[in-house]
């Protein structure tokens, strides 16, 4: 008996033989496409620009715009393509109308290569042709990026319509093989689950399933009547578990439990895929009816690696291409071994993977008519034909839809065709030998370093570098950047959802406790308490915190002052280690702290987790930064003299924090002060005083000495004002409202009798943040990001979007989608996972925001207001005003709630002028695909944090140092490399080392701190 490998080689050789009989280049149709792809493979920079140009093209309406974009995208090209583009651009300038049309026509041609038709009728022409070639079909409706429930309803309706057309038009069509045809219905529809619910949140699969199932049932019912097959496509990893759960749930329901014409995709590039497949098979056996699995490698490799790197997650995909290939083969075996319950379809263009399936089926005695090979429309035509000729069942995956919704699909296909590691490129563009193409992937894996790679982040970085060689420059960190952020919790994992649920229920039992002040290490009850309440349920007291008055403030200043004399001489290493221990404790108590935030400040799960992550990051980042600046630095190298620059702490810091990032901001300012050697009086906001108490507890456990940190909640107007004015307070770190910030700034400017130092004020205040959506912006992204930036955490972030600036040209298109998106966001009690909009912090905020809504109604037009908010708790309906003018109060004053003002402008000049026309300069956003406009926005928008093509909230420590200017703050950057300097005074120590004209030849590097007594 021949080995499996030699069977594979023989079958592979046969396929290649047939492929070579009908030579067709990889890019069979349009010459323009062929040329573009060939260039893309040669030049990574060109490829990136081409894909971006392809991406923006459908949204450009005027020919002049097309020509401008062409020039902007390609003007910097270095090599051979440049003259071509420049000639094109010159011609285009002369006749933009003609050139625009020609380009659009050519790119549409490229898209038509992969998109089988514009609509159901259109696609039938092509399906008939394929039928003549004995190729079956599965049709997929393009339109993945839905931003609202209206759009998901439209998608569901289009699916039904498509089913009807396909069934009607294919009546009488028979199975090309004529055997086992009951397993392979003619009509086959592939469905993208995420297109059926716009609020899918990985943390809440139950909610997604509750919304998806009712949308799917009518489609399944009709499919059943029409004897059609429905396949669930698999998308990004974030949706994988929900898609699998939904599949199992819906096909276990009484109505569908015996229905065999359903299938789902398994992605072999996922490390979880074997466990998922085995679980599906067990489920199928328990159910007792057949189902199908389409095995693919997976289309989102780049996306998954980027996403996991950005969030610090374990990467769900394999890093080495042969690992995916090996796994594909292992899963092929599992499918065949369970052929009695599962019908296999292999979605691969790789002749090795295909030949392996054929050979293995033979070895296991499975008839070739009991499985099928599936291919993407427009790709690998010769392989499809070869398989038909050999006698296998072949089905083509045919996307249907307009160009605009099809763009992300098209870009994925372009990436696939030009991917360095892809089979198609190797075979059809690079003519790699057949022997090489048929090699056992296990061998390749063995040859690569140590075989299977670990799942660490560094490896992802390297894998990405390998994948994007010309981008590697941009992936290299700046010399000072060695900081790796703490990961976010990935709620896609059930385990993390369970931990959060458990933490919430445990926290519920601990609500209502009393918390003392901590002064000089002593617990102090004052007889007066501040009740911190749950804004979702104001009758619930989260905790009662002792309220400090003037007397306690005085005690705290004395304690901090006394402790300073010792703390200032503690080595920075010791202080840095304190922060690191605190970070470790926070990590250990992560879910508990997040649960507390849900109750105390109404944060949705992911926002709460994000806050803890940020607090951890502040600890670790500031510890690292202190190590970088802590040691004295030589100023210049001159003989005979040593001059060292170094820092001293300022003294006693009074930290005044807001409630909206109750651990991150309070913790960030406090740890910055501590690590720099200052002692601290920490005043949390009254609304989040329990979170403050937790932070105190954590820092005490980490070992902060008595008096170095004092926890002092109390009334800002009484105890707070007293400390601001106090002669013994040297530094005030404040984040909060403009009103209080300016008062502190002014008051701190007055020198009191006995005051030692000029007070330093670090002052972070509010914003009136604008986002501009340019006429060529990607609305699928812009709408989702703007909706989140405006309404996420109820608009209570200082970075939140509150002014949306739209160009006349796309105003209607944006508004139509925005209003529907706003109507779709989930509003509710944030104890439930997946909520976007919870309650605002308290009754005062509630009344203030409602008052602004009344002002808005009198000044502008109420375009949208949500109706269905919970009756109990401080829930404000997401609200959108249009016809807003820049001088109106709702366009100028900070509302700090889920209220957006939309301003219509004529052009980008006016948009930037309006964006800059406020007192504030905190965050701003710009959505555009015009490189020139992006450059302009980068240069001209007045904000401390300018975000291009992404949400304007969610700054990450070290990556997006945060803080504004104008009336948003004093220009400091929390989480930035220069932040700690605010807490320090610089000193220079100069020593002449010359004695009688003699000096050492080389000045020794000072390796220690100036500490006394030395320990």
Ligand X SMILES: Cc1cc2nc3c(=O)[nH]c(=O)nc-3n(C[C@H](O)[C@H](O)[C@H](O)COP(=O)(O)OP(=O)(O)OC[C@H]3O[C@@H](n4cnc5c(N)ncnc54)[C@H](O)[C@@H]3O)c2cc1C
Backbone angles phi, psi at 485, to 5 degrees: -65, 155
618 neighbors 671 (Cβ within 8 angstroms): yes
Q: How far apart are CA 482 and CA 472, in angstroms?
A: 16
Q: How far apart are CA 121 and CA 162, in angstroms?
A: 9
Work out the number of other CB atoms within 10 angstroms of the CB of residue 94. Answer: 8
Work out the number of other CB atoms within 10 angstroms of the CB of residue 50. Answer: 23
Helix axes 605-629, 664-675, angle to 10 degrees: 10
Quote the least distance from Cβ 377 to ligand X, whole Å: 9
**Helix/strand/coil for 529:** strand
Q: How far apart are CA 624 and CA 934, in angstroms?
A: 33
- H or E element: which one contains 948? strand 945-948
421 versus 725: smaller Cβ distance to ligand X: 421
452 neighbors 444 (Cβ within 8 angstroms): no
Q: How far apart are CA 118 and CA 807, in angstroms?
A: 29
Quote the least distance from Cβ 263 to ligand X, whole Å: 10
274 is catalytic: no
256 versus 319: smaller Cβ distance to ligand X: 319
118 versus 467: smaller Cβ distance to ligand X: 467
Q: How far is CA 48 from CA 32, 36, 468, in A?
A: 17, 12, 10
Residues 6+ apart with CB under 8 A from 658: 665, 685, 688, 735, 736, 737
240 versus 499: smaller Cβ distance to ligand X: 240
298 versus 767: smaller Cβ distance to ligand X: 298
End-to-end C-alpha distance for the chain, whole angstroms = 78
211 versus 321: smaller Cβ distance to ligand X: 321
DSSP readout, 589-631? THHHHHHHHHHHH---HHHHHHHHHHHHHHHHHHHHHHHHHSS
Q: How far apart are CA 72 and CA 53, in angstroms?
A: 10
Identified catalytic residue from 597, 764, 831, 910: 764
- Of 171, 168, 211, whose CA–CA distance to 193 is shortest? 211
Quote the least distance from Cβ 148 to ligand X, whole Å: 24
297 versus 826: smaller Cβ distance to ligand X: 297
Quote the least distance from Cβ 396 to ligand X, whole Å: 7
253 is catalytic: no
Quote the least distance from Cβ 449 to ligand X, whole Å: 13
Quote the least distance from Cβ 778 to ligand X, whole Å: 21
Q: How far apart are CA 852 and CA 857, in angstroms?
A: 9
Quote the least distance from Cβ 241 to ligand X, whole Å: 15
689 neighbors 713 (Cβ within 8 angstroms): yes
812 CB burial (10 A radius; 0-12, 13-18, 19+): exposed
400 versus 582: smaller Cβ distance to ligand X: 400
522 neighbors 548 (Cβ within 8 angstroms): no
Tell me whether strands 923-927 and 945-948 are parallel, antiparallel or unpaired. Answer: parallel
Say how far residue 349 (Cα) sits from the centre of its chain. 31
Quote the least distance from Cβ 26 to ligand X, whole Å: 12
Quote the least distance from Cβ 688 to ligand X, whole Å: 42
Residues 6+ apart with CB under 8 A from 255: 217, 221
Q: How far is CA 57 from CA 63, 106, 519, 757, 813, in A?
A: 10, 11, 63, 60, 17
**Helix/strand/coil for 318:** coil
Would you state the structure tokens that stand for residue 299, as one six-digit string? 């289309």
- H or E element: which one contains 323? helix 321-337
Q: How far apart are CA 375 and CA 401, in angstroms?
A: 18
Which residues make up the interface to ligand X (CB under 6 A)? 233-234, 265, 267, 269, 294, 296-301, 317-321, 323-324, 347-350, 353, 374-376, 397, 416, 421-423, 463
Identified catalytic residue from 398, 619, 786, 798: 798
Quote the least distance from Cβ 746 to ligand X, whole Å: 58
Q: How far apart are CA 219 and CA 215, in angstroms?
A: 7
43 versus 325: smaller Cβ distance to ligand X: 325
Backbone angles phi, psi at 935, to 5 degrees: -60, -40
Half-sphere exposure of 77 (CA within 13 A, CB side): 25
444 versus 584: smaller Cβ distance to ligand X: 444
Q: How far apart are CA 1015 and CA 744, in angstroms?
A: 39
- H or E element: which one contains 345? strand 342-347
231 versus 1003: smaller Cβ distance to ligand X: 231
240 versus 603: smaller Cβ distance to ligand X: 240
Q: How far is CA 904 from CA 134, 476, 773, 776, 812, in A?
A: 55, 40, 10, 16, 10
> What are the catalytic residues?
764, 798
């Amino acid at each position: 008996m021949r080995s499996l490998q030699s069977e594979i080689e023989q079958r592979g050789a046969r396929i290649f033989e047939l492929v070579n009989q009908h030579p067709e280049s990889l890019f069979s149709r349009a010459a323009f496409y062929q040329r573009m792809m060939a260039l893309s493979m040669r030049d990574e920079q060109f490829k990136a620009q081409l894909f971006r140009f392809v991406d923006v093209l459908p949204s450009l309406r005027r020919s002049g715009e097309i020509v401008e974009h062409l020039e902007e995208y390609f003007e910097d090209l270095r090599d051979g393509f440049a003259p071509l583009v420049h000639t094109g651009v010159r011609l285009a300038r002369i006749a933009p109308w003609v050139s625009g049309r020609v380009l659009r026509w050519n790119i549409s041609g490229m898209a038509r290569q992969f998109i089988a038709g514009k609509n159901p009728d259109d696609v039938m022409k092509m399906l008939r042709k394929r039928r003549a070639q004995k190729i079956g079909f599965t049709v997929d409706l393009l339109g993945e990026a839905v931003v609202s429930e209206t759009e998901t309803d439209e998608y569901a309706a289009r699916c039904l319509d498509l089913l009807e057309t396909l069934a009607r038009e294919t009546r009488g069509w028979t199975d090309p093989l004529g055997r086992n045809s009951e397993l392979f219905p003619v009509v086959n529809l592939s469905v993208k689950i995420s297109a059926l619910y716009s609020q899918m949140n990985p943390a809440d699969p139950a909610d997604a399933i509750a919304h998806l199932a009712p949308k799917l049932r009518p489609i399944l019912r009709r499919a059943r009547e029409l004897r059609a097959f429905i396949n669930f496509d698999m998308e990004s990893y974030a949706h994988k578990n929900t898609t699998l759960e939904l599949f199992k749930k819906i096909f276990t329901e009484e109505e569908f439990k015996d229905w065999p014409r359903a299938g789902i995709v398994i992605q072999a590039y996922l490390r979880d895929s074997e466990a998922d497949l085995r679980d599906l098979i067990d489920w199928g056996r328990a159910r007792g009816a057949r189902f199908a699995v389409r095995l693919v490698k997976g289309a989102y490799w780049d996306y998954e690696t980027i996403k996991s790197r950005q969030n610090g997650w374990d990467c769900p995909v394999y890093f080495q291409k042969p690992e995916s290939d090996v796994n594909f083969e292992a899963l092929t075996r599992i499918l065949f071994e369970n052929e009695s319950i599962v019908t296999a379809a292999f979605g691969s263009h790789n002749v090795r993977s295909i030949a392996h399936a054929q050979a293995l089926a033979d070895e296991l005695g499975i008839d070739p008519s009991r499985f099928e090979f599936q291919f993407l429309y427009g790709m690998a035509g010769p392989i499809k034909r070869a398989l038909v000729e050999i006698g296998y069942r072949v089905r083509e995956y045919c996307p249907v839809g307009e160009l605009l919704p099809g763009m992300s699909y098209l870009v994925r296909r372009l990436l696939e065709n030009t991917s360095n590691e892809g089979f198609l490129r190797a075979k059809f563009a690079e003519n790699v030998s057949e022997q090489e193409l048929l090699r056992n992937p296990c061998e390749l894996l063995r040859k690569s370093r140590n075989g299977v790679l670990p799942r660490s982040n560094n490896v992802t970085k390297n894998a990405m570098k390998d994948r994007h060689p010309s981008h590697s420059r941009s992936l290299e960190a700046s010399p000072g950047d060695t900081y790796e952020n703490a990961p976010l919790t990935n709620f896609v994992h059930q385990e993390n959802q369970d931990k959060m649920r458990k933490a919430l229920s445990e926290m519920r039992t601990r609500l209502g406790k009393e918390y003392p002040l901590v002064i000089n290490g002593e617990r102090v009850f004052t007889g007066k308490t501040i009740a911190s309440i749950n804004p979702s349920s104001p009758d619930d007291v989260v905790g009662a915190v002792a309220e400090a008055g003037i007397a306690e403030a005085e005690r705290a200043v004395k304690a901090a002052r006394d402790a300073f004399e010792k703390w200032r001489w503690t080595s920075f290493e010791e202080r840095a280690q304190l922060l690191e221990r605190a970070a470790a404790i926070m990590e250990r108590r992560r879910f508990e702290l997040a649960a507390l935030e849900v109750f105390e400040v109404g944060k949705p799960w992911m926002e709460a987790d994000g806050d803890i992550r940020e607090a951890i990051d502040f600890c670790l980042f500031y510890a690292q930064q202190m190590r970088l600046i802590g040691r004295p630095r030589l100023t210049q190298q001159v003989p005979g003299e040593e001059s060292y620059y170094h820092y001293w702490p300022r003294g006693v810091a009074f930290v005044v924090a807001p409630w909206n990032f109750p651990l991150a901001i309070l913790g960030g300012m406090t740890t910055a002060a501590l690590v720099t050697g200052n002692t601290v009086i920490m005043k949390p906001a009254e609304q989040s005083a329990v979170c403050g108490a937790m932070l105190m507890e954590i820092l005490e456990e980490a070992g902060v000495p008595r008096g170095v940190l004092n926890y002092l909640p109390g009334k800002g107007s009484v105890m707070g004002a007293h400390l601001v004015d106090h002669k013994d307070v040297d530094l005030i770190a404040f984040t909060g409202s403009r009103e209080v910030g300016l008062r502190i700034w002014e008051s701190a400017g007055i020198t009191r009798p006995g005051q030692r130092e000029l007070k330093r004020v670090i002052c972070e205040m509010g914003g009136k943040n604008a986002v501009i959506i340019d006429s060529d912006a990607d609305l699928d992204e812009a709408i989702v990001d703007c909706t989140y930036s405006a309404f996420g955490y109820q608009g209570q972030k200082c970075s939140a979007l509150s002014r949306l600036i739209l160009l006349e040209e796309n105003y209607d298109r944006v508004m139509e989608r925005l209003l529907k998106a706003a109507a779709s966001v989930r509003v509710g009690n944030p104890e439930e996972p997946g909520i976007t909009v919870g309650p605002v912090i308290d009754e005062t905020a509630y009344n203030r925001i409602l008052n602004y809504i009344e002002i808005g109604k009198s000044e502008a037009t109420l375009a949208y207001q949500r109706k269905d908010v919970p009756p109990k708790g401080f829930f404000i309906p997401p609200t959108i005003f249009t016809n807003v003018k820049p001088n109106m109060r709702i366009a100028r004053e900070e509302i700090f709630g889920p209220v957006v003002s939309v301003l219509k402008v004529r052009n980008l000049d006016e948009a930037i002028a309006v964006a800059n026309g406020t007192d504030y300069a905190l965050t701003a956003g710009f959505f555009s695909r015009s490189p020139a406009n992006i450059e302009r926005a980068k240069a001209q928008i007045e904000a401390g944090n300018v975000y291009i093509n992404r949400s304007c909230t969610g700054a990450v420590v070290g990556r997006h140092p945060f803080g504004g200017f104008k009336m948003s703050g004093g220009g400091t950057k929390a989480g930035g490399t220069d932040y700690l300097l605010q807490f320090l005074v610089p000193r220079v120590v100069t020593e002449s080392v010359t004695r009688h004209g003699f000096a050492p030849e080389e000045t020794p590097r000072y390796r220690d701190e100036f500490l006394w007594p030395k320990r």
